[in-house]
Structure formats: C-alpha cells, structure tokens
Amino acid sequence: EVQLVQSGAEVKKPGESLKISCKGSGYTFTNYWIGWVRQMPGKGLEWLGIIYPRDSDTRYNPSFQGQVTISADRFINTAYLQWNSLKSSDTAIYYCARLLVVAAGFFDLWGRGTQVTVAS
C-alpha cells in the first residue's frame, strides 16, 4: 500500500526542541518531493517547505524559513520536520504530503498528520 506514516502526537513546553517524522512506503520514496503542511486550530492549510529525499535538496516557504528545519534520510525512507525552540504558536497539526509531479505543486498523497501541542 502506498502511504505516508507519521509519528505520533507530541506535547511540549515552550522553548523545547522537537523532531517529527514521516515514513513513506509502497513507492520509491526517493523519486518524489515530500512537503510539510501546517494546519493551525480551526484554520486552513499552509505549506512550510519541501525536500527531495534523493539528495536532500530542500526549499522553504519564505514565511517559515528559519523557523523550522526539514531533513530526510533516504536509507530509511523518512522525512523530518524539526524545531529548535518551540513557541505556543507552533501548536498545530502537521501533515507530510507527496508532490506527484515535480513541475507542479499539488500533493497527491498525505499522511494522517501529527498533532503538536506547545503549552506551559
């Protein structure tokens, strides 16, 4: 089955670090860009950045540059989203998703999401 499996929900305090994961299976993980998309409580969707797992080429939405770090390990078909110092405003559901076509920017396969809660 073609799928993206994300790590479980996290509850953290402001200032803490966090790394969440997204593991692809059922397809050649290194052939497709993986993106991260944020959904804040009751809000819409925002893309944070994308990564090409084959060579870890990474591009960020300018609005999120410097706020998060995206990485990948092609040997275990996993992409990551990382924060060095969480803020309460980082509370959201984070989805990983696959870009079907490199020349287009829509996502055809989504993970179930990781709930990140940042509270003191």
Partner 1 sequence: EIVMTQSPATLSVSPGERATLSCRASQTIGNNLAWYQQIPGQAPRLLISGASTRATGIPTRFSGSGSGTEFTLTISSLQSEDFALYYCQQYNNWLTWTFGQGTKVEIK
Q: What is residue 55's DSSP assignment?
A: T
In the complex, the smallest distance separating the C-beta of residue 48 from partner 1, rounded to whole angstroms, is 11
Cβ closest to partner 1, residue 14 vs residue 105: 105
Whether the CB-CB separation of 95 and 113 falls below 8 Å is answered with yes
> How distant, in Å, are the alpha carbons of 1, 57, 97, 115 from that of 93?
24, 24, 13, 4
For partner 1, give the closer residue by CB, 16 or 40. 40
**Is there a contact between 72 and 19 (Cβ–Cβ < 8 Å)?**
no
By the criterion CB under 8 A, which residues form the site for partner 1? 37, 43-47, 50, 59, 61, 95, 97, 100, 103-113
CB of 16 to partner 1, least distance (A): 26
Nearest approach in angstroms of CB 11 to partner 1 is 18
